[in-house]
Structure 1
């Protein structure tokens, strides 16, 4: 049997084409997933550098300056050090729970970032229930902290895990009620639609002015969810050494470190999306309609401008939680729970009722 050389070349070309199609298919799945992960990780490095520089300024001292110019790569150097440090396991602890806990804390926050719109066309998952998906996913994070505290077989770690669970339950309900109010004003639960609903009057159309009470409650609840001062009870150094992180070292401690700043970044992005107009410019449509319609511009230019606006608002807002770390004292546990259940919950519920009444009257 004689096989034509042309037929052999066609078969080889067809097999190469199939291989290329498989590679492109894998890249089509991985690139949209890995791109936000890499971008958010870079954002975390920027936050760590900002916090160290701002903290140094508040305390009138010199911040990091040896790891690259202005100490920009100091966070990367610290992460590399943790990567190569010895990974210790408690001798009488539960190694499975001890190892899974930090992973859950990071994965949950990365999943919740998938519904954040950085521009009109730059969002990983534009879902109709995107904002409530964030709340549902973020409620899983305390489970990882309890697993870490219990698996450490350490009284300080266990108390830290219990505090984290109690704190999360206390402040998730007011936060959810504030998000419900925003959804009612926007007539949608999609994060993209919520940003679009704030674009009618520019700066004065932001939900910050339409929901001032909700903004304050959301801000306090977000600080508590991020376990930032004055709400860092789960890892209070003076009382619990480091809380649920006490027995951790190496890369597992690094995961908790990354999760803390990831949570802060994601919460600040949600504040920008829900209350600060997202990627919208603060110029009303009647003055400069060409610039105002940047939210609907396709292509690299419009996406880049929108991304820059979103990140600029986010990092400007980050100055608030960073400065509170060095200006406010830590609350006691009973004060923290009283604030959540006796003050923020009734206020957020009343704000929701007022928002519902105004929407019904406007129909």
Structure 2
């Protein structure tokens, strides 16, 4: 129960600051002002937008299939939020301490496709359905290279336990998997690109594609229900960033052995590494244009997946060489 409250509270606070940070990042990259009127430097703009969203009327089209329409946002959010259950925040706090944490995380997060497809179909809107089908095709396609890149780390570490992986990377930056095992550099790049697609982040935001689909699978949603979809998107962004930090960058371990260790420091290092990855995701979003559908699928099946399969064998050979 404590873990649930901690993760939910942290996620809500993160989303408020992340939206503001993304607006400011976009403004800086594209030479715009960004929010600046509500509060000092516009820092309360996101809070004002949140209050406005909560007060909006829940408008529904008359032809929607009401039950799946209402349930869909909850399924998407619960699937994403469920992945936080196995994340180790520091040496003493790791949520559910199951030995197959990586498998559980990838399995439960993949269920968000059901909610997205349900939302598009129940909206009884062809644009929503197109957006849902795009999203399902995209998420399923990029789960393959994402899973293979994670499997590379599993082979190197010999464990599915995220807490155990973090403990194995103690001893400074030279002990982090991406440094001590340079064969994981390419799997990390594949993991990061696939993570952008999993979270529907630009240049992989085809499920929404405002210029083509109005709003994608959530076109018919408004107010708080629309907000749940956005909460799930930022939740997925944070989840994959924390997972990437644990798998490749030492998790809650300090970059300097013997310095900045302990429960509070461990939480700080994990979040610090995750925030850097989140900033890079925002940087990519406001720098690169959106891909076409054929380019999106081609990148996954023709490039990322074959490379990930090759790297799987390379990591296995590397592990055998280390053992011998």
Class of the TM-score when normalised by the shorter of the 2 chains: over 0.9
Name which of structure 1's ranges 39-48 and 341-350 shifts more when overlaid on structure 2: 39-48
Deviation at 1:330? 0.7
| Secondary structure, aligned partner of 1:234 | coil
> In the TM superposition, what are the counterparts of 1:226-265 in structure 2 within 5 Å?
226-265=199-238
Equivalent residue for 2:92?
121
Aligned to 1:326: 286
The equivalent residue for 1:204 is: 174
Question: Which of 341, 351, 363 matches 2:301?
Answer: 341
Structure with max Cα Rg: 1
Give the structure 1 partner of residue 150 of structure 2.
Answer: 179
What is the CA-CA distance between 1:196 and the residue it aligns to?
1.6
Name the residue aligned to 2:68: 97
Alignment of 1:81-160 (within 5 A): 81-160=52-131
Aligned mates of 1:307, 1:68 — CA distance in 2: 29
Q: Does 1:311 align with 2:268?
A: no
Match of 1:13 in 2: none
Quote the Cα distance in structure 2 between the aligned partners of 1:69 and 1:106: 32
Question: For 1:65-124, what per-residue CA distance to the aligned partner results, in whole angstroms no more than 9, with x for missing partners?
Answer: 233223233222212211111101221120111111111111111110111111111221
Say whether 1:161 aligns with 2:132. Answer: yes
Instruction: Give TM-score, length-normalised by structure 1.
Output: 0.85
- Tell me the distance in 2 between the aligned counterparts of 1:191 and 1:74: 37
Q: CA deviation at 1:243?
A: 0.5
1:180: Cα distance to partner? 1.0
Report how many residues are paired.
320
SS at match of 1:124: coil
Aligned-residue offset at 1:360 = 2.1
Cα distance in 1 between the residues matched to 2:264 and 2:322: 37
Counterpart for residue 291 of structure 1: 259
Q: How many Å apart are 1:126 and its aligned residue?
A: 2.0
Q: Which runs of 5+ in 1 are unaligned?
A: 1-29, 295-301
Deviation track 1:17-69 (CA, whole Å, cap 9, x = no partner) reads: xxxxxxxxxxxxx4332121111211121211110111111122222123322
Q: Is the 8 A contact 1:230 1:330 kept in 2?
A: yes
SS in 2 for 1:291: coil
The 2-side partners of 1:73 and 1:269 are apart by 26
- What SS does the corresponding residue of 2:159 show, helix, strand or coil? coil
Tell whether 2:242 aligns with 1:269: yes
Deviation at 1:170, TM superposition (A): 0.5
Note closer, same or farther for the CA distance 1:341–1:291 as it changes in structure 2 (3 Å cut).
Answer: same
Cα displacement string for residues 313-337 of structure 1 (whole angstroms, at most 9, x for unaligned residues): 1112212110111211111111111
Q: If the length of structure 2 is used for normalisation, what is the TM-score?
A: 0.95
Is 2:3 aligned against 1:32? Answer: yes
Tell me the equivalent position of 1:22: none
Task: Report deviation, 1:241.
Answer: 0.8
Match of 1:355 among 307, 315, 318: 315
CA RMSD, 1 decimal: 1.3
Provide the residue aligned with 1:11 in structure 2. Answer: none
Q: Deviation above 4 Å: which 4+ runs of structure 1?
A: none
